[in-house]
Structure 1
Amino acid sequence: MLEIQITGTNIRYADGGVASVHVQFQARDPEGAINLNGYIPLTGEEYQGNESLSALKEVVRVKLVKKLELPAAETGA
């Protein structure tokens, strides 16, 4: 299983509320053979209620797995 670390959040505000959030992360497997880093974009609604580090880690994990499972035709590769 990948160990995910949240390294930062960039919050964009609009109309007095959270419009979007970029959650920066680093991830690696226990053996150190796989290293990933980047950000996962969230809507304000996705971020609301998931502000804690443990919740953000789970959101990043779910979204990261979905992105990795996309067929090559959908990713433009």
Structure 2
Amino acid sequence: MADKLTSVRFDSNTLDKLRLLASLHEDSTASEIRKAVAAYIERETSSEDFHTKVERKQEKLRREHDELAEKLLARRPTLPSK
């Protein structure tokens, strides 16, 4: 069972169709939403494009991290020598 809660807003037409599907499948609306989201995630994350985008995002974050570290180190005051 799910251990996190989130809210999703649907227009009336979509919610009516979702409730109809749940009724036809003798399932809850929440369960239908979970199944749809799981299928979406599986489809999106199994593509090569997804993995390429993740690698690009990781590289961008590494560059941003390195740039920030350089800026912070450049501002670091020097301690007087003994």
TM-score of the superposed pair, with normalisation by structure 1: 0.36
Q: Select the structure that is richer in strand.
A: 1
Greater C-alpha Rg? 2
Higher relative contact order (CA 8 A, sep 6+): 1
Q: Select the structure that is richer in helix.
A: 2
